[in-house]
A and B are shown apart, each in its own frame.
Chain A
Amino acid sequence: AQSVTQLGSHVSVSEGALVLLRCNYSSSVPPYLFWYVQYPNQGLQLLLKYTTGATLVKGINGFEAEFKKSETSFHLTKPSAHMSDAAEYFCAVSAMNTGFQKLVFGTGTRLLVSP
């Protein structure tokens, strides 16, 4: 079975500071990994995804994530936080042998950005 653990339910940064949101996964087969973002009172939208190939994945709004198999991690980063980045972020995993309809989401990390 696949699972993800997001470390820290809340992360606070100052505007302009580095953003680092942590995600570790568990999967018995090569995983596909995703980051989604949820703004207040909205549904989730895809930030980026890793399937195969390059382990450093770039997404929208300046975010990127690196797949590290040895560490079973897929941390999300952004060099400089903006006020508009304040939202909840979800890491998700799916395994190639079960199909994408069984995305398993983490419990989410709320990013707070202060001026």
Chain B
Amino acid sequence: IAGITQAPTSQILAAGRRMTLRCTQDMRHNAMYWYRQDLGLGLRLIHYSNTAGTTGKGEVPDGYSVSRANTDDFPLTLASAVPSQTSVYFCASSREPNTGELFFGEGSRLTVL
């Protein structure tokens, strides 16, 4: 089934460790996004990419980095994880940046101890 695949599904990580959350889409969408979901705060945009080769900062980019080497992949890296980065992370994509219709992956639950 076409869509977005995120990995890992769940991970427990020691503070200070580096972690990369993977995201792959097979819909040939141009735009991709990373959100974090926290109880009572809804979803907040971390980083986005309008097209391969470009990225931009969202609402809460500090402590995170992304790359967009090709259309399909949009990994999110935590260089040195901290407990406040404990969250559920969702990758999403849209056909174009201006459609407003996002397709989401099933999420990656990250716990930083």
Contact = CB atoms under 8 A, between A and B. Distances in A.
Contact of B105 (A34, A43, A90): A43
A45 interface: yes
Contacts of B107: 41-43
Interface stretch (B36-44, B66-74, B76-84): B36-44
Interface of B: 4, 31, 33, 35, 40-45, 48, 50, 56, 58, 90, 92, 94, 97-107
Given A43-B106, A101-B56, A34 B100 contact: yes
Contact of A102 (B41, B45, B92, B105): B45
A71 to B, nearest CB: 22
Interface residues of A, number: 23
Chain A interface secondary structure, helix, strand, loop or mixed?
mixed
Contacts of A36: 102
Q: Across the A-B interface, give the 7 residue pairs with the lowest CB-CB distance, nearest first.
A: A43-B104, A107-B42, A100-B100, A105-B43, A105-B42, A44-B104, A101-B48
